[in-house]
Structure 1
């Protein structure tokens, strides 16, 4: 095992930085983060696995996994709860400074031996957190009993670099008044952690995830929060708003639910196998689990560089190579889909332009195609450079929630979504990921995601509505997007 920085460099950094990550790494070819997570952390009350999957190299390089320390933040029932080493502080809302606890820690710019996330906050924001960042009032309506926000702190974790096959264990404690002692304890923990990992690596290869309900039975027992006729009516009302000039486009969703009493982790493994995606993840919070195979990034920050990656435009995959090529070509040439996508690219450019230096925002990739197991999408990539002194709360206020799952203009679309959809969205079309101690942040958009709680599995699927949308086709698009989740919950392929 290679350990760095050495003691001398660690103490040098500790004189300037309140927290210094100590890294123990080794080359491990063919490493399976999912198997290791399950062996080491699946029984922890709060744990996470962020797993790179299918996607371009820049989005599918690292996997991260670990468990929480004793610090956490949550918003539920109109109060902000702060958990700190067994103590709990409740702050009445509104509390404008409460979210600032998620900000990057100052004085860590000298840390240069780790160029990725090495500790910080891990968690999610529900869609309804929008009213914290935008001037919008959301109605109280049917929903699940979930926190609006839940983040726990992580100060040691495993990281796997899929490009170099390097596996790292990182301890990122505060250096405190005795940095030499902190280094000694961290170095000893690296040895212990690698001994545990060696036992995992010596285990026989894991078997395939267990089977679930047959697809035919599952589809019969799926319950939606809306009928097809009601969805068609919802689309028609959205089109009226478009005709009247209120909006240009809106995303409307249905929520599906089914009984699920099994272990959620094999469900995640099946979902990732069925629909490998660059922003896959498994988040465990006490009595709930989010299992995601999201293809979409909300926002990424590395130092002063910021990036967002909008997806808009969908077609189902073909059943043959010829049909697949035809559908893909049709998607890229379709004027409706192109116009919708370009409109949302402009929205996202404007969003990150609020926090970026003048003239730094540019579209680096425009309208390329990405294929997933059941659908293909049009994707673009937008980058910029942050203004000085921009904090996490500024970034969230600028980009949350993602315009691709609200519509344009964003605030009016959120008001219309609130009027038309019968249930709160919860995590769906919100975001989960990490916010580093240092200036590393990566948050996805929660789509292609199953929530498991209290013996039930829930997932949302939506479609972008524009002036010439055909309501029945938009309903079918939601079902196309549901196919991967249905297959993950089933033991047989969905045709």
Structure 2
């Protein structure tokens, strides 16, 4: 392995532009560090292999020849970067095919990257890492330095939006909420995450969108990916899975209140969230679900909960969270752990499979990468993935985003609808600001 330290690197905005404009790029960025989250950001482009639409077991086989240890402090020194779409869950569980697949993007996409750049937010240092699997490591480092230090002129094109079209109107969403409550009353399910999608015509570049959204809605698990056919953007606050050595962590979010910019009003929102029996019950249900999922691959007795009902503050919302931790059992690996937990309980419901069936019935279009997971699996099999909320798809001139929330028996249709509005506010306000009508 060859590692080069750059003590005075370009700004994050510049790194995003320089890497994001290359072929098949990725940005995994912590545009907001929160409670110890988001110490590192990673950048790369031009993978030496791509794995599309296949099973995680096949990705394991592709990665097997390159397996190696990591003796540095840098969490990710190269490997697979990409996403699992929410609909990858159909490869894990038997779910009906009722919702329309009108995006046509793969259920799984990963590039395999030898050369990567890792930015440490606390020190301000940038590290370039290469291994030389397919070409000499020194050549890869030279190419990375050229991208960072060579001549470059960012091409920012005008952006414009057409009118938004929702796949569920306010009234249709309200009826869907009531249908979920009927299922809860009949004992079918305890909770269902229900979402709705907005779509419009768009002209412009996805990288410009990401650059604007990371400013308007900073988050510890932001991501930009381009496959050449479509682009995916996420400014997510939620961690799906982190694996360091044998340690596993998942951090579900349940419970949201808007922020106003007025500290006194925000304190009132905090107290409302702490006092909400509905939100506390939702989080407890999902924590129990995640404990069960982790238990499938964890060492017996190692699953435990930390930071229950902790509040996290972001620019436009306050979230209630918890951490569920475990030790990976002997004979298990990161691919089995991802399969055991996917898709995340906070964006499905409980029981998970029945909730996924109800989502399929009530949401008219498939979710795509929304509520899937974006992240990395290192050559050493450490990994970190987000829950891909606060996200946008861009393909063939069509842009969409999706917002949702957990429905329980105490849910009221009006407040659930308002929660989707609150969650989408940062995206909408940023798009309205940067785009021509």
Shorter-chain TM range is: over 0.9
Deviation at 1:174, TM superposition (A): 2.7
The alpha-carbon deviation at position 466 of structure 1 amounts to: 0.5
132, 137, 141: which one aligns with 2:100: 141
* Structure 1 match to 2:2: 22
Cα RMSD between the aligned structures? Answer: 2.4
- The separation in 2 between residues aligned to 1:451 and 1:96, in whole angstroms, is 22
Write out per-residue CA displacement over residues 448-493 of structure 1, whole angstroms, 9 at most, x where no aligned residue.
0111111121011001101011111111111111111112211179
1:72 pairs with one of 50, 74, 78: 50
Q: Which position in structure 2 is the counterpart of 1:126? A: 85
The answer to whether residue 247 in structure 2 is matched with residue 305 in structure 1 is yes
Mapped partners of 1:192, 1:412: distance in 2: 49
**Larger of the two Rg values belongs to structure:** 1
Paired residue for 2:389? 447
What's the CA shift string for 1:93-136, capped at 9, x where partnerless?
xx795343366668624x41354111111111111111212243
Corresponding residue for residue 255 of structure 1: 197
Question: Is the 2:403–2:424 contact (alpha carbons within 8 Å) kept by the matching residues of 1?
Answer: yes
Deviates more, 1:392-401 or 1:231-240: 392-401
1-structure distance, mates of 2:431, 2:40? 27
Q: Which residue does 2:75 correspond to in 1? A: 116
Q: Does 1:322 align with 2:243?
A: no
Secondary structure at the residue paired with 1:113? coil
Kindly indicate whether residue 192 of structure 2 is the aligned counterpart of residue 241 of structure 1.
no
The residue aligned with 1:98 is: 58
Q: Which blocks of at least 5 consecutive residues in structure 2 are unaligned? A: none
Q: Could you tell me whether the CA contact under 8 Å between 1:102 and 1:121 is conserved in 2?
A: no
> For residues 342-390 of structure 1, what are the alpha-carbon distances to aligned partners after superposition, in whole Å with 9 as ceiling and x for unaligned?
1111111111121111111221221111122221110111211101221
Aligned in 2, Cα 1:466/1:397: closer, same or farther, shift over 3 Å? same
Query: Residue 36 of structure 1: SS of its match in structure 2?
Result: helix
Contact preservation (8 Å) 2:48, 2:114? no
**2:20, 2:423 → 1: CA distance?**
28
- Given the two structures, how large is their TM-score scaled by the length of structure 2? 0.93
Distance 1:141 1:264 in 2: 24
Q: State the Cα distance separating 1:406 from its structure 2 match.
A: 0.4
Of residues 302, 307, 310, the one that matches 1:365 is 307
TM-score, structure 1 normalization: 0.82
Alpha-carbon shift at residue 164 of structure 1 (Å): 2.0
Counterpart of 2:131 in structure 1 is: 172
- Looking at structure 2, the residues matched to 97 and 371 of structure 1 have their Cα atoms a distance apart, in angstroms, of 37
* Corresponding residue number in structure 1 for 2:138: 187
Tell me which residue corresponds to 2:12: 33
In structure 1, stretches of 5+ residues that fail to align are 1-20, 81-94, 176-181
Counterpart CA distance in 2 for 1:425 and 1:74 is: 18
The count of aligned residue pairs is 435
How far off is 1:211 after superposition?
7.3
Q: Is the 8 A contact 1:211 1:490 kept in 2?
A: no
